[in-house]
Structure 1
Amino acid sequence: MPELPEVENVRRNLESMVVGRTIASVDVRLPRIIRTPDDTVRFAAELAGCTIQSVSRRGKYLLFSVPPYTLVSHLRMEGQYLWVAADEPVAPHTHVIFHFDDHTELRYRDVRQFGTMDLIEPGQPLPKGLLALGPEPFSEDLDHDGLYRRVHRRTASIKAVLLDQAVLAGLGNIYVDEALFRAGIHPARPAHQLTRAEAQTLVKAIREVLTEAIEAGGSSIRTYVDGYGRHGGFQIRLNVYGRQGQPCQTCGSEIVKLRIAGRGTHVCPLCQPKSRRHEAVRERAGKGEVSVP
């Protein structure tokens, strides 16, 4: 599933590709992609003649400003936007086509068909999932102990809590695993056990990994491409995600894959101690005093 870095790269591409372009017509080929309104003929008719003014992002949602409307798009598992010339052959699994008046098109392609679009009228509430989002990882709401305040009463694993979009917007399986590795925190640790210092370290790790991933164009683990059809480059820099059975690039221990919060989770057992007892063992091992089982 595209996470914050991938969606942010798509947003940046769309901003350069489609802002200022006027929609001549819309072709909806798979009606269930459109949630609001529940009439696809009306969806297309309302957008005809509108000009895209901006493209913003909130969590994993894209928001197209198409006055007087806001078009909210969620890519879900494999949604993709591609901007092409109108005479370009239409690829399989293309479900919505925005025809512009300059003979270019913005095409929405989705093999899994889980993506959604909502055309929001002035005064109409945004989709519930969007309204329920927590702060952005780069938000000022996450000051030095902001994350600690959001997690210190939660008994679930820190992995599960970070995946909760109401706690922090935009994170998914890849970047939660990577941030926890950088912070030296085991993903199965109960969230309420994190100290303020660990929470501060984790915020720093989250911001670092997201920044680097955005700059690298995101991670193309399976099918992700940006608006120009380009793959991301961050997948070659992942420390733990997808590297089970391989040596940790920090300590040499074998990366293991666990099931935590219902998700495949990648961990270095030495760099990410599961408990304070294991942390003490890790520190002693680092001094050559003991081997870690």
Structure 2
Amino acid sequence: MCLSAAFNSLKSSNLISWKATGKLQQTLEGCIELTGKALHSGKVSTVKIWPGFAGEGRYFEFQSKLIPASIDFVQESLLCTTLCKDGYKIRTVEHLLSALEAKGVDNCRIEIQSFDSKDPEVEVPIFDGSASAWVEAIEQVGRKEALDRCGNNAEKLAPYLNEPLHVSRDDSFLVAFPSRMVRITCGIDFPKVPAIGCQWFSSAALDDFYEKQIACSRTFCIYEEVERMRNAGLIKGGSLDNAIVCSASKGWLNPPLHFHDEPCRHKVLDLIGDLSLFARSGSQGFPVAHVVSFKGGHSLHADFVRRLSGII
């Protein structure tokens, strides 16, 4: 199928207007292959990212099942973003998708394998807890113009927000305002953990700034919550090598930080990955808007994308 039918699905509405970016859709020059341990399951998995056709976007292949990197397949889960289709689940996709969105890899097939061929669940490796491994791999293999199955290139479109939009859960909120460019303002607040405290960070996310100022920001956790999370079946693969850990009484247990506000920057990294799930047909997923998040998380991000998509 050529692109005309695919782009018919990108219809503007009162909330969103799809506009040309002046760029052509991109894919990878070659295949990326990385193997590592997962944060929550503790299991080892291998990810191969293959070049994709223009207009087909980003999608996962697991156990011969194709699962698009789309909000339509997001399942509620603790401390990560999970895609689910026909009983098959892919967990912790946010760091990989963040890197692909920010680096402009619009179309690709993401093949993921675990060492247990019968397990219907798999998790993307965590590496050092940031998106650096993915960014470095993308830079190493390079990008190229994507062609569709008819051999044609395709213009990259972006969703421009036409009116303010907000979602909230308890004391957390995410609000977006119309803007001529992508802007992100993110705040976190940990009053019982003085070493983190209240932090704010603002960025223009989808350019080289991401690679230098956001991608290397690692996931973090509170030391006093580790036992509770492990009892809940989470962070089985967590260690001081793949997260920065902060104690309420003792401060950071594995310094130095990459930035004084690294936790807040990591929240921006997650936000970009989660909002990339609005992408379709090789378009930009992150809305052209000023997005403001306070005490946000994966569930709140999913709520926002569903509102953006008109699902809720």
Name the TM tier (shorter chain). under 0.3
Report the structure number with the largest CA radius of gyration. 1
Structure with the greater relative contact order (CA < 8 A, sep ≥ 6): 1 or 2? 2
TM-score computed with the length of structure 2 as normaliser? 0.26
TM-score computed with the length of structure 1 as normaliser? 0.28
Higher helix share: 1
